[in-house]
Amino acid sequence: MNYLLHATAIAGLAAATSIAHADAGHGNNADIGQEGDVSNIDRVVEVSMDEMRFDPETVDVEKGETVRFVVSNDGRMVHEFNIGTDQMWEGHETEMRRMMQRGMMTGRALNHDKMREAGMMHDDANSALLEPGETAEIVWTFSGSAKIGFACNVPGHRQAGMVGEFVSSAKVATN
């Protein structure tokens, strides 16, 4: 009986850890904001992704503002625009590495069939994973208190400098 209770507790802990790890880097953290209402957009920001850089690299946002990001991959490799924090990106990059190892993505293409089979469609509100030439939109409301930015979590890209930041001109003006 004691063995069964112990085994059940270990299995439950492993499942909870897996679920928490699977959510890393996804848009379910209130501190970073949330998916915005497409009928209530304050402005549109166009973001271009190229080899290891974003243009623009810095975007001015205000708390409560809803922004439509039109993100285009103008490079020759798969890139991601992911709104989050350093901690979120650490876990998310592990997931992205696993996607590469399992053939769901290569440096230049996504295998949507394999992604669907694994339940890893990469369709979270805070993220767009794009093949070369693709464009996507993210509508985001900045309501959280965390220091956030945007990054490409394709393995090696963030480390190569593919990171951008959100700044607030109101905060800059008071400093």
Q: Which of 90, 112, 114 is nearest to 102 (CA)?
A: 114
Q: What is the pLDDT of residues 143-157, one digit of tens each?
A: 877 889 999 999 999
Mean pLDDT of 80-108: 95
> Would you state the structure tokens that stand for residue 160, as one six-digit string?
């190569």
For the entire predicted model, the pTM comes to 0.81
* Segments of the chain assigned E as strands: 34-35, 43-50, 53-55, 58-60, 66-73, 79-84, 127-130, 135-141, 149-151, 163-167
Residue 36, amino acid: G
Pairing of strands 79-84, 149-151: antiparallel
Distance of CA 106 to the CA centre of its chain: 18
| pLDDT confidence band for 30 (50 / 70 / 90) | low
Give the count of beta carbons closer than 10 Å to the beta carbon of residue 5. Answer: 9
Pairing of strands 149-151, 163-167: antiparallel
Q: What is the pLDDT of residues 36-71, one digit of tens each?
A: 999 999 999 999 999 999 999 999 999 999 999 999
Domains, in order of start, for the chain: 33-168 (2.60.40.420)
